Structures are given as structure tokens and as C-alpha cells.
Amino acid sequence: MNTVATRGVARLVRGMPTSDGAGVKLTRVIGQPQLADLDPFLMLDEFGTDNPGDYIAGFPDHPHRGFETVTYMLDGRMRHRDNHGHEGVLVPGAVQWMTAGRGIVHSEMPEQQEGRMRGFQLWINLPAQQKMTAPRYQEFGPEKIPQVTAGTARVKVIAGQLEGVTGPIVQPATDPTYLDIELTPGSVFTHALPSGHAAFAYVYEGSVRIGEGDAAATVAGHELAVLSEGGMVRFEGRSGAADSRAAARVILVAGRPLREPVAKYGPFVMNTREELMQAFADFQSGRF
Ligand code: FE2
């Protein structure tokens, strides 16, 4: 009999406070010394604050080449604009999947003067043959993100499949899964991830027991669990953020590793140093 092991917690990582753009305060969870990357994931930032001073400066014009960015808004509104004529406003619950491809210059600016701004930005690498593809946006309002009730868990399917429901984002190269899971205390959610995919879970409200048996760990808010190799992963809600009866919230993200060399500098992610230098030259001469 050939059984696939259940996934447990291989290691726990706490994000690092930093700032980016014109001084936006955020927590870098992937892309920092403790977890430089998790192929195909290059970066995960969590932003979350009630203080406009932490976000009001936004992310003025800046370039990207060679990968994809996924922005998932929980609270607040953010306007994006780019040099190819795209513009839109991300609202709470919206997802923007941007394929930077051969090059884009864009801004991401708060569309509010006060109130809470909260969400995630994830960077997913592109394989060598897609790094110079045409830039593209896929933008989905909250009404376009299917919500599935699985037992007592409520799950938003941003990418991947759950109980016959498919999330709106499709990327065959990395075949990503991106679920936002809400668990009341004691409620259990299990999900089979493709074996061979790199996977992590990030708890952003309350605490959640992840895995089974010896490989399980109780993961507190703002901690990332790198999941071990295997198939099924089990989540059990422990407590919420506000009080012990509130729901915990966790994102589950997985993708197929590219296993290619990574040459990365700031907003450019290529395979070789020569391609990185070409990216700089192209950006500086206005070829994005
Ligand atoms: Fe950006």
C-alpha cells in the first residue's frame, strides 16, 4: 500500500518588522534572514495597522520583473496604477494577482486617510520561460472569491480547489493553492495538498493547532508554519484574537517548486546575474 504522510509543522517562523515603499510599516515573513524563500515563494508581507502614519506614504512608482505578486486585502482600500494603463482599487476581501513578466512600473497607494489597513502581499516566482511574458493583472472583488463551508470551517478559495470549488486564480507553472480559513474553537479542517508542493500556513488571528501527533504544533497569531512534505494537513481552531470563543484565521498557501537558480535584487527576480543587470539597464532606459 502506498500512503502519503500527513503534513506537520517542519518549522515555525516569526515575521520581522520592516518598512518598504515610501515608509509603509509591515511585517516581512518570507524574504528575511530566518526564511529567505520557500520555492516558489519569494516573499510574504503582512501589513496591518490602525494608524494612518504607518501606511499613508504608500508605494509610489516602482518596477517589477520576473515574478508575480498577489495582494489580498482584508481591511482598507488601495489604488494601483501602472505604466501600461491599468488602474483599479482594491477593497476589503479583494485579490489582485499581478504578473510582472518582462516589466511593469506601478504604484500602490492608500485610498483612505484614516482607518485600518490590513492584508498580505505574496511574491511567487515565474519559471525561466515565463519571466519575460507580457505583464498582466487578474483582479477579483470579494464577490468573485468563492466561500465554502467545510464542516464548521469557513474557507475562501482564492486559488486551488476545495470540495469541487475552484478559486479564480489559475497559474499552471506553480499550480498555487491559496485558502483563507476561519476556524471557531474546536472546529477542524483538513485539506489534501498536492504532494511535492511547498506549503506554509500563516495564522493571523487567534491560534490554531496545525498537523497531527508528534508533528503538530499550536501556532499563535503572526507565526508562519512551514509544512513538512506529504499530502493531508489538519487544522484545529484554538482561540480567536478577541476572546476565547472568537474564530481564528489562517491562510494556507502551497505551490510547485520551480527548482531553478534565483538571481534576486529588490524588485527584479531572474535566473542569472546577467539577466538581473539587463533588468536594471532596461528599467533605467525606460523599456519597462
Ligand atoms: Fe509593487
pLDDT per position as a tens digit, 126-181: 999 999 999 999 999 999 999 999 999 999 999 999 999 999 998 999 999 999 99
Q: pLDDT (tens digit, 9 = 90+) per residue, 80-127?
A: 999 989 999 999 999 999 999 999 999 999 999 999 999 999 999 999
- 227's enclosing H/E stretch is strand 223-227
pLDDT in tens, 222-279: 999 999 999 999 999 998 777 777 899 999 999 999 999 999 998 999 999 999 999 9
Joined grid coordinates for residue 62: 516602482
213-230 average pLDDT score: 94
Cβ atoms of residues 12 and 201 within 8 Å? no
User: Mean of the pLDDT values across residues 15-43?
Assistant: 95
Question: What is the residue extent of each domain of the chain?
Answer: 9-284
Residues 6+ apart with CB under 8 A from 261: 271, 272
Output the CA–CA distances (angstroms, integers) from residue 195 to 9, 83, 192, 232, 259, in the order listed. Answer: 15, 39, 8, 9, 15
Give me the pLDDT at residue 245, please.
76
97 - beta bridge partners? 70, 138
Q: What's the CA-to-centroid distance between 214 and ligand 1, angstroms?
A: 40
Cα-to-centroid distance, 66 and ligand 1 (Å):
12
The rounded Å distance from CA 64 to ligand 1 centre is 7
Separation of CA 239 and ligand 1 centre (Å)? 34
Distance 84 CA to ligand 1 centre (A): 14
Q: Compute the distance from residue 30 Cα to the ligand 1 centre, in Å.
A: 16
CA of 12 to the centre of ligand 1 (A): 27
Q: Say how far apart CA 224 and CA 261 lie, in whole Å.
A: 25
Taking the C-alpha atoms of residue 162 and residue 111, their distance in angstroms, rounded to an integer, is 33
- For ligand 1, the distance from its centroid to the CA atom of residue 225, given in whole angstroms, is 25
Nearest residue to 62 via CA among 263, 264, 267: 267
List pLDDT tens digits, range 184-207: 999 999 999 999 999 999 999 999
Residue 58 CA to residue 52 CA, distance in Å, equals: 10
CA quadruple 274, 280, 285, 286: dihedral positive or negative?
positive
Q: How far is the CA of 98 from the centre of ligand 1 (A)?
A: 9
The Å distance, Cα 143 to ligand 1 centre, comes to 24
Neighbours of 124 (CB within 10 A): 24
Q: Which CATH superfamily is domain 9-284 in?
A: Jelly Rolls (2.60.120.10)
What is the 62 CA–ligand 1 centroid distance (Å)? 6
Q: What one-character DSSP code corresponds to residue 284?
A: H
Cis amide bond preceding 40, omega within 30: yes
258 C-alpha vs ligand 1 centroid, how far in Å?
22
Closest to 255 measured CA to CA, from 65, 39, 85? 39
Write down the pLDDT at residue 244.
72
189 C-alpha to ligand 1 centroid (Å): 33
Binned at pLDDT 50, 70 and 90, residue 54 comes out as: very high
Question: What separation in Å is there between the alpha carbon of 8 and the centre of ligand 1?
Answer: 33
DSSP 38: B
Contact present, 27 and 221 (Cβ < 8 Å): no
Ligand 1 mean position to 123 CA, how many Å? 10
pLDDT band at 2 (very low <50, low <70, confident <90, very high): low
> Is the omega angle on the peptide bond into residue 194 within 30 degrees of 0, that is, cis?
no
Short-list 263, 15, 6, 222, CA closest to 125: 263
What's the whole-number mean pLDDT along residues 272-288?
Answer: 95
Distance 106 CA to ligand 1 centre (A): 6
User: Among 192, 201, 190, which Cα is nearest to 226's?
Assistant: 201
